[in-house]
Amino acid sequence: MKARVHVMLKDGVLDPQGEAVRHALGTLGFAGVEGVRQGKVIDLDLAATDRAAAEAEVRAMCEKLLANTVIEKYAIEIA
């Protein structure tokens, strides 16, 4: 089973990397970009065969390691 985790900074948390990308895009002539939020995508190959168990396991991974839940939010996709 495969899982994909999308991790992004929570709304209201300053995103200096996103701001740097927005500025660079403007420098390259893409003047219409008003905001950029940068995050990360983590792909996992899981041995689990039960979808609910896999999601629970990935959620525990996110809470313990993959996301800093104080400033980041995450979304899980199971396939």
Q: What is the pLDDT of residue 73?
A: 98
Q: Dihedral, CA atoms, 47, 50, 55, 56, nearest 10 degrees?
A: -100
Q: Which of 18, 8, 17 is nearest to 72 (CA)?
A: 8
| Residue keyed to tokens 């701001």 | 19
Q: What is the pTM of this model?
A: 0.89
**Main-chain dihedrals φ then ψ at residue 5, nearest 5 degrees:** -115, 125
pLDDT tens per residue across span 50-65: 999 999 999 999 999 9
pLDDT tens per residue across span 1-42: 999 999 999 999 999 999 999 999 999 999 999 999 999 999
Residue type, 58: V
